[in-house]
Every structure is written in structure tokens, then in C-alpha cells.
């Protein structure tokens, strides 16, 4: 083979391998020339494309991420590289867009978090204010009612009417608590108080509460109690009252004139440590559509807008009732037929107790008057309270305990009184003018006198939100009682803290 043919074969092999193309078929010098020109043009083209690719990649390093590399018709290794690089750019763009979107979402989440925190603070302040404004007068109503009920000179009819006020006020208080803290109801964190109570007396009070309304509508309303049901049950009588009140209230509301309501209480069965009682409330009212029965226990739900407009109500009654029953380890069922009536069946367990444990009057009267703390002196209480009616109420209650009471109307005066005089315990309102209970407690806890700085302090306040309770503890308040308070509970807390202070 001549040198010319060897050169031509070499050039053709390069063109064929590199570019999948052969320009000539002869063996002449012209063929060699054409093949070499073709190869030179291809190499020059690759060089230019390579320079463009290098420039584009350099721009990427400089921050211009989204420039694509050019793809030629040659479909050679450079084009394969460019396609791979462009795919990477696409993925990078998607990541960058996702990152920007994520940053935007995060910014919005931060804004929403801040907004939620502001709303939570505003809600907490509103609930604190509402709690104080509603519970403060209610404390006076229930407190004085309780004092009058215990008056032995009261005639039977007057005492019965006061008991109506008391049970209605207790139910109102529970409803206020539930509305002010619906989250607590939803989580099932409801406090239950187990005490002996007379079921017959309780149902009679409930019956009397609705008798006027049922008579006005001409409703045949009857309550019956099975003889097997114990006269005395151990449980939370206020919550039981609330369950009956809500169910009967619904029955009265939705039963037309000349209708019928039957409340039956029967002994269901006996378990270890428990008596299981069944309560049924049946009416001949408007009934509930079958497709609505599953939702009637949801908050703020009523059968229809027409129902809400015609009959009123918040839509919370059955929700609260269901939550209470769940917390009491009971169950509730509903059977209803449209335009025929509705029947609620409630099963509740009550722990067995001593039937003789029923307290006809407050157990406080059975305590011996505590007059000795040191040297035969009475327990001396400092009351910091700005509401005059509540001042009178607490003073009267403390006098029945044979306690000595000094009253001031704000936190500043409370601090001065603690510094200047000796007290065994402080009853501290939280929301007061000039100086509130938090600041007053903080100052007292920082006094130099060890005895005075460690005096027991009981928050006695109408504000009941979780943040208020936490704040009370953080400033050094020993115990927290919400208004309206139970007289017996107040007595027991005072005695407990005074005894602890004196090392008893």
C-alpha cells in the first residue's frame, strides 16, 4: 500500500469513527484532500462548540445557573454531555423553585405563628376578662344563697326556692366554665367531685325547674325513679344535674304543646365497687333525621338553620353532655324518629359508699371552731378583694369559722398590712386596682422577714384561664381557688396551709 493510500485510509477511519461519515470513494490525491478538509471543518466546529460549553459552565460557576448548553445535529459525545448537563440544570431549577417555595411557605408559617400567638394572647385576655366579669357577681349570688340555705330559721318553702337558685347557679357556673375553656372540655380534662348526694331530691329540683315551662306548653312531664335505685349516690351531683338539665331542656324545647316527656331512672346492674344507673329522657317532639343523628354531639351543630332560628341555643348542650358522660365513664345513646320523638339513654356508674355519709348541711359545721394557732389566738386572715359584695360574703363565711378577718381593697394595701401586722394566711384576689395580686405576692415573697415572706397565700379569683393559674404559681401563690368557691373547700385549704405553716 502506498503512503497516499495509507493516509487516505487513516483519515477515512477517523471520519467514520468520529463523525459516522465518509466523503469520497476513490484513491486519488483529490480524495485525500476532500477527506482532510471535511475532518478539519468538523474539528473546528467541535472546538467552537467546546468553547461555548466551557463559557456556559463558567457562567454557572459565576451564579448564572439556568443557561442551557446548545445541542447540535451531530448527536456526538459533546451533545450527550450537553443533554446530561441540561437535565442537571432542569433538576437544579426544580430544587431552586422548591427551595424558594419552601422559604416562602416558611415565611408565611412564621407570620401565621406570630398571628396565632397574638390571637391566643388576645383570646386569653378576653377570656380572663369575661371570666372575671361573669364569675365575680356569680360568686356573690351563689355565696349568699348558700349562707341563707344554712339559716335554720328559714321556712321550708323559702329554703326550697333558694335551692332552686343554687342548683340553677351551679349549672350556670359549669356552663360558663365550659364555654370559657372549651378546649378543656374537648380534651376531656373536666374535674369531677365525688360526694354523696340525694338523687331523689336532685331530680325533684330539676323537675320543679322545668315545671312552669312544661305547664305553659301543656306538656305531660313526669320523672320516675325505680325503687332499686339507691337513695344516696356518690358522685358529682352538679355534673349529674347538668346532664339532666341539658337533656330535659332539649326535650322541652323541641316538644310541641300537649306533648309528652318521660324521664325514667332505673337500677341497671351492680359491678364491683359500682352501682350502674340508667337514665332515659323520652319526648314526643320533632325528632331528628336519621342522617343527622351522628352529628348531634358535635360542637355548634344543630339539625338545621331553621331549628336554630326557631328554637335558639348555642349548639353546645349535647356536646358538653357527651363529654361529661365520657369523663364519668358512662355512655349515651340516642333513638329518634322524625315527627315522632327522641329518646336519650344514659348509663352512668356511681361508686358505692356509705349511705350514712350524706351531708345534710355543710360538713364545716361539724368541725370544731379553730381558735388556736399560737397562744389561743384565732386564725387571722387578710382578705385582699376590691369587690364590696365579695368582701362582705367572705367576711361572713370566715366569721362562721370563728376566724378573724381584715379586709383591704388592693394589692398595695395588702403588702402594707402584711408588713405592719401578723396574719396566718392571705386570701389574694388577682385582678385589683392600683396593684394586682401577682405584684403584691411577689413583693411579699421578697420581704426580709422570714415569717412574713413565707405566709401562706391563696389566690381567690374569678379568673380561671390556664395562663393565670400558671402565673399564680410562678409568683409564689400556694393554692388557687376560683370564684364561685365552695365554702367547705375554702375552709379546708385555709386549715391545711395554716397547719403546714405551724408544722402540724
Measured CA to CA, the distance from residue 416 to residue 459 in angstroms comes to 18
The b/e string for 311-320 (b: 16+ C-beta within 10 A; e otherwise) is eeeeebbbbb
User: CATH number for the domain including 472?
Assistant: 3.40.50.2300
157 φ, ψ to 5°? -65, -45
User: Mapping DSSP to helix (H, G, I), strand (E, B) and coil, where does residue 327 land?
Assistant: helix
Instruction: Indicate whether 296 pLDDT > 80.
Output: yes
Q: How many Cα neighbours within 13 Å face the side chain of 425?
A: 27
**Residue at a domain's end among 290, 325, 357:** 357
Measured CA to CA, the distance from residue 162 to residue 177 in angstroms comes to 22
Instruction: Indicate whether 392 pLDDT > 70.
Output: yes
Domain of residue 457 covers 364-501
Measured CA to CA, the distance from residue 224 to residue 264 in angstroms comes to 5
Do the domain assignments include residue 117?
Answer: no
Compute CA distances 430 → 18, 141, 435, 458, 472, whole Å.
Answer: 91, 20, 9, 10, 8
Compute CA distances 341 → 216, 258, 279, whole Å.
Answer: 20, 13, 17
Q: What average pLDDT does the chain have? A: 81
Nearest one of 385, 376, 410, 412 to 490, comparing CA atoms: 385
User: CATH number for the domain including 164?
Assistant: 3.30.565.10
Do the domain assignments include residue 348?
Answer: yes
Range in 121-130, 216-225, 410-419, 432-441 the model is least confident about: 121-130
Same-domain check for residues 193 and 305:
yes
H-only helix segments in 218-289? 237-254
What confidence score (pLDDT) does residue 363 get?
Answer: 38
Do the domain assignments include residue 284?
Answer: yes
Angle of helix 77-149 relative to helix 388-400, nearest 10 degrees, comes to 60
- What pTM value is reported for the model? 0.50
Looking at the structure of the chain, the number of domains it has is 3
Angle of helix 77-149 relative to helix 466-474, nearest 10 degrees, comes to 80
Range in 105-109, 195-199, 370-374, 450-454 the model is least confident about: 370-374
DSSP H or E run through 204: helix 199-217
> Average pLDDT of 476-483?
86
User: Mapping DSSP to helix (H, G, I), strand (E, B) and coil, where does residue 65 land?
Assistant: coil
* The three cell numbers locating residue 90: 432542569
> Average pLDDT of 76-96?
80
Range in 53-67, 96-110, 283-297, 351-365 the model is least confident about: 351-365
What confidence score (pLDDT) does residue 355 get?
Answer: 46
What pLDDT, in 10s, does the model give residues 316-339? 678 878 888 988 999 999 999 988
> Average pLDDT of 61-71?
73
Higher pLDDT pick, 224 / 181: 224
Percent of the chain whose predicted confidence (pLDDT) is above 90: 26
Same-domain check for residues 156 and 203:
yes
Do the domain assignments include residue 409?
Answer: yes
Instruction: Indicate whether 48 pLDDT > 90.
Output: no
Do the domain assignments include residue 52?
Answer: yes
Q: How confident is the model at residue 416 (pLDDT cuts 50, 70, 90)?
A: very high
**Residue at a domain's end among 357, 389, 422:** 357
* The three cell numbers locating residue 44: 473546528
Instruction: Indicate whether 138 pLDDT > 70.
Output: yes
What confidence score (pLDDT) does residue 314 get?
Answer: 47
What confidence score (pLDDT) does residue 23 get?
Answer: 79
What pLDDT, in 10s, does the model give residues 139-178? 778 888 888 887 878 888 888 888 888 877 777 776 676 6
Same-domain check for residues 292 and 399:
no
What confidence score (pLDDT) does residue 306 get?
Answer: 52
Same-domain check for residues 371 and 300:
no
Q: How would you classify the pairing of strands 479-482 and 457-461?
A: parallel
What confidence score (pLDDT) does residue 185 get?
Answer: 56
Whose grid coordinates read 423553585?
Answer: 97
Range in 8-17, 311-320, 403-412, 431-440 the model is least confident about: 311-320
What confidence score (pLDDT) does residue 316 get?
Answer: 66
> Are the C-beta atoms of residues 498 and 374 closer than 8 Å to each other?
no
The b/e string for 208-247 (b: 16+ C-beta within 10 A; e otherwise) is ebbeeebeeeebebebebeeebeebbbbbbbbbbbbbbbb
Same-domain check for residues 404 and 316:
no
> Are the C-beta atoms of residues 344 and 333 closer than 8 Å to each other?
yes
What pLDDT, in 10s, does the model give residues 255-281? 999 999 999 999 999 888 899 999 999
> Average pLDDT of 111-135?
73
Do the domain assignments include residue 293?
Answer: yes
What confidence score (pLDDT) does residue 154 get?
Answer: 82
Same-domain check for residues 288 and 373:
no
What pLDDT, in 10s, does the model give residues 333-386? 999 998 899 999 999 999 886 544 443 333 333 344 444 454 457 899 999 998
Encode 102-161 in three state secondary structure.
Answer: HHHHHHHHHHHHHHHHHHHHHHHHHHHHHHHHHHHHHHHHHHHHHHHHCCCCCCHHHHHH
Same-domain check for residues 326 and 390:
no
The sign of the dihedral angle between the CA atoms of 153, 159, 161, 164 is: positive
Instruction: Indicate whether 232 pLDDT > 70.
Output: yes
What confidence score (pLDDT) does residue 422 get?
Answer: 92
Burial bucket for residue 457 (CB in 10 Å: 0-12, 13-18, 19+): buried
Same-domain check for residues 198 and 273:
yes
What confidence score (pLDDT) does residue 365 get?
Answer: 39
Same-domain check for residues 378 and 343:
no
Q: How confident is the model at residue 468 (pLDDT cuts 50, 70, 90)?
A: low
> Average pLDDT of 292-302?
72
Measured CA to CA, the distance from residue 419 to residue 184 in angstroms comes to 39
Do the domain assignments include residue 234?
Answer: yes
Do the domain assignments include residue 89?
Answer: no
> Average pLDDT of 390-398?
89
Same-domain check for residues 22 and 51:
yes
> Average pLDDT of 4-23?
78
Q: How confident is the model at residue 312 (pLDDT cuts 50, 70, 90)?
A: very low
Higher pLDDT pick, 148 / 1: 148
Amino acid at each position: 500500500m502506498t503512503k497516499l493510500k495509507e493516509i487516505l485510509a487513516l483519515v477515512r477511519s477517523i471520519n467514520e469513527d468520529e463523525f459516522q461519515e465518509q466523503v469520497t470513494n476513490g484513491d486519488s490525491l483529490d480524495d485525500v484532500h476532500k477527506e482532510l478538509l471535511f475532518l478539519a471543518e468538523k474539528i473546528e466546529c467541535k472546538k467552537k462548540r467546546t468553547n461555548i460549553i466551557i463559557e456556559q459552565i463558567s457562567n454557572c460557576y459565576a451564579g448564572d445557573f439556568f443557561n442551557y448548553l446548545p445541542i447540535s445535529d451531530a448527536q456526538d459525545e459533546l451533545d450527550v454531555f450537553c443533554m446530561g448537563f441540561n437535565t442537571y440544570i432542569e433538576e437544579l431549577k426544580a430544587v431552586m423553585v422548591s427551595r424558594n417555595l419552601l422559604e416562602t411557605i416558611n415565611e408565611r408559617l412564621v407570620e401565621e405563628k406570630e398571628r396565632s400567638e397574638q390571637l391566643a394572647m388576645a383570646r386569653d385576655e378576653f377570656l380572663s376578662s369575661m371570666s372575671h366579669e361573669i364569675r365575680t357577681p356569680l360568686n356573690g349570688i351563689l355565696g349568699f344563697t348558700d349562707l341563707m340555705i344554712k339559716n335554720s330559721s328559714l321556712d321550708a318553702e323559702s329554703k326550697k326556692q333558694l335551692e332552686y337558685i343554687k342548683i340553677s347557679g351551679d349549672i350556670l357556673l359549669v356552663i360558663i366554665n365550659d364555654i370559657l375553656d372549651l378546649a378543656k372540655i374537648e380534651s376531656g380534662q373536666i374535674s369531677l367531685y365525688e360526694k354523696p348526694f340525694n338523687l331523689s331530691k336532685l331530680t325533684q329540683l330539676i323537675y320543679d325547674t322545668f315545671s312552669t315551662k312544661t305547664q305553659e306548653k301543656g306538656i305531660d312531664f313526669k320523672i320516675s325513679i325505680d325503687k332499686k335505685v339507691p337513695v344516696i349516690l356518690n358522685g358529682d351531683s352538679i355534673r349529674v344535674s347538668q346532664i339532666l338539665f341539658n337533656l330535659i331542656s332539649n326535650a322541652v324545647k323541641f316538644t310541641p304543646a300537649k306533648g309528652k316527656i318521660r324521664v325514667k331512672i332505673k337500677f341497671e346492674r351492680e359491678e364491683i365497687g359500682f352501682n350502674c344507673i340508667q337514665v332515659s329522657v323520652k319526648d314526643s317532639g320533632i325528632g331528628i333525621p336519621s342522617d343527622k343523628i351522628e352529628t348531634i354531639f358535635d360542637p355548634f351543630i344543630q339539625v338545621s338553620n331553621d331549628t336554630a332560628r326557631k328554637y335558639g341555643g348555642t349548639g353546645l348542650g349535647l356536646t358538653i353532655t357527651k363529654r361529661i358522660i365520657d369523663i364519668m365513664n358512662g355512655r349515651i345513646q340516642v333513638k329518634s324518629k322524625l315527627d315522632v320523638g327522641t329518646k336519650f339513654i344514659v348509663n352512668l356508674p356511681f361508686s358505692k359508699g356509705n349511705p350514712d355519709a350524706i351531708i345534710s348541711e355543710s360538713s364545716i359545721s361539724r368541725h370544731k371552731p379553730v381558735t388556736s394557732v399560737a397562744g389561743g389566738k384565732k386564725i387571722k386572715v387578710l382578705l385582699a378583694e376590691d369587690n364590696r359584695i365579695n368582701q362582705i360574703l367572705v367576711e361572713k363565711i370566715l366569721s362562721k369559722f370563728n376566724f378573724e378577718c381584715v379586709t383591704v381593697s388592693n394589692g398595695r394595701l395588702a403588702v402594707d398590712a402584711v408588713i405592719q401586722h401578723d396574719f396566718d394566711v392571705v386570701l389574694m384576689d388577682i385582678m385589683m386596682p392600683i396593684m394586682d395580686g401577682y405584684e403584691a405576692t411577689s413583693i411579699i415573697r421578697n420581704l426580709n422577714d422570714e415569717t412574713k415572706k413565707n405566709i401562706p397565700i391563696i389566690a381567690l379569683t374569678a379568673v380561671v384561664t390556664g395562663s393565670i393559674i400558671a402565673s399564680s404559681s410562678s409568683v409564689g401563690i400556694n393554692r388557687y381557688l376560683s370564684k364561685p368557691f365552695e365554702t367547705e373547700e375554702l375552709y379546708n385549704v385555709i386549715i391545711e396551709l395554716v397547719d403546714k405553716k405551724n408544722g402540724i
